[in-house]
Amino acid sequence: MSRVIAVLGGTGPEGFGLALRWTQAGETVIIGSRNAKRAQDAAEKIRQKVGPQARISGQENVAACAGADLLVLTIPFEGHAALLKQLKPAIRPGSIVVDTTVPLAASVGGRASRTLGVWQGSAAQETAELVPQGVPVVAAFQNVAADLLNSDGPVDCDVIVCSDDAEASQAVRSLAAKIPGVRAIDGGKLENARIVEQIAALLIGLNIRHKGHSGIRITGLPPTAYNP
Ligand SMILES: NC(=O)c1ccc[n+]([C@@H]2O[C@H](COP(=O)([O-])OP(=O)(O)OC[C@H]3O[C@@H](n4cnc5c(N)ncnc54)[C@H](OP(=O)(O)O)[C@@H]3O)[C@@H](O)[C@H]2O)c1
């Protein structure tokens, strides 16, 4: 059964791009924002692009969360913990929380090509401490450039999906694979998110150095590893 997806912070480039791709794939998506009007405007932009059949709407973050059962965090690290505390009472049992956050030093005025040390090990592991008990957290999409998601072509990037919950990981891999060009790979436990988040900082540094929109491809695994 298909889940309703709330993209929290979906007014920004990363969340907007994911919401666009999933709406194009026929999923039901709610864009979340701190401001309901901003969320509705972003949803309208996607409707204009996808067409009247698009199942897309926009709401304030907590309302978006309450109306969905697959919650995708696409906000900068500086707002991460505060937003999760605000969302916690609205997270429905049975929901999955997907974290795309990279804890960039830019969050505290540092460089975008460096990360901050997070006590729990990674932004995604911090999320796991802040969601209601029993709600699985999945780390994914940290290495997918917003520019690629918002382009018209396929996305030349693999998505490494990390979670301690096998079913939730599988659900998110299926969703990732709905984005043309993306191959979703089971990246093992949630603790591996700390490595995947670091790769994102490296990619940002490469983009600055070479002026591009880099991504990653994992080679050499058996074909089954690339199937959701
Ligand atoms: N950009 C990329 O290429 C890329 C790639 C991979 C992963 N990511 C990760 O995806 C996340 C979003 O990236 P982005 O570039 O789209 O970020 P962004 O534009 O800085 O922020 C996204 C949205 O988050 C909301 N927001 C901003 N500050 C907030 C705060 N303090 N508290 C709550 N909400 C806040 C804003 O929405 P409202 O003002 O409407 O609430 C904003 O439109 C980040 O964690 C980033 O590391 C980004």
Atom of ligand 1 minimally distant from the CA of 75? 24
Which residue stretches of 67-192 are H helix?
A: 80-87, 123-130, 146-149, 166-176
For residue 108, the model assigns a pLDDT of 85
* Ligand 1 center–CA 101 separation, angstroms: 8
Mean pLDDT to the nearest integer, 25-38: 98
* Mean pLDDT of the residues in the chain: 96
In this structure, the residue with its CA closest to atom 26 of ligand 1 is 75
Q: Return the axis-axis angle of helices 123-130 and 193-210, rounded to nearest 10°.
A: 140
* Ligand 1 center–CA 26 separation, angstroms: 24
Which residue matches tokens 């059949």? 53
Is residue 167 exposed (0-12), middle (13-18) or buried (19+ Cβ within 10 Å)? Answer: exposed
DSSP state of 153: S
Mean pLDDT to the nearest integer, 191-197: 98
The number of C-alpha atoms within 13 Å of 139 and in the hemisphere containing its C-beta is 30
* Ligand 1 center–CA 35 separation, angstroms: 14
* Ligand 1 center–CA 198 separation, angstroms: 17
pLDDT tens per residue, range 99-141: 999 999 888 888 888 899 999 999 999 999 999 999 999 999 9
In this structure, the residue with its CA closest to atom 48 of ligand 1 is 14
131, amino acid identity: V
CA-based R_g, the chain, Å? 16
Pocket of ligand 1 (CB under 6 A): 9, 11-15, 33-35, 38, 74-79, 83, 100-102, 104, 142, 144-146, 200
Residue 211 Ramachandran class (φ > 0 left, ψ -120 to 50 alpha, else beta): left
Kindly list the strands in the beta sheet with 5-8, ordered across the sheet, starting from the edge strand earlier in the chain.
Answer: 56-60, 29-33, 5-8, 70-73, 96-99, 137-139, 158-163, 183-186
DSSP state of 114: S
For residue 109, the model assigns a pLDDT of 87
Prediction pTM value = 0.98
Q: Which of the four pLDDT bands, split at 50, 70 and 90, describes residue 59?
A: very high
Is residue 202 exposed (0-12), middle (13-18) or buried (19+ Cβ within 10 Å)? Answer: middle
Residues 218, 15, 7, 161, Cα dihedral to 10°: 10
Q: Which of the four pLDDT bands, split at 50, 70 and 90, describes residue 1?
A: low
Atom of ligand 1 minimally distant from the CA of 102? 47
For residue 115, give the 3-state DSSP assignment.
Answer: strand
In this structure, the residue with its CA closest to atom 5 of ligand 1 is 145
pLDDT at 93 over 70: yes
* Ligand 1 center–CA 79 separation, angstroms: 9
Report the Cα 215 to chain-centroid distance in Å. 15
Mean pLDDT to the nearest integer, 202-228: 95
Q: Return the axis-axis angle of helices 13-24 and 36-50, rounded to nearest 10°.
A: 40
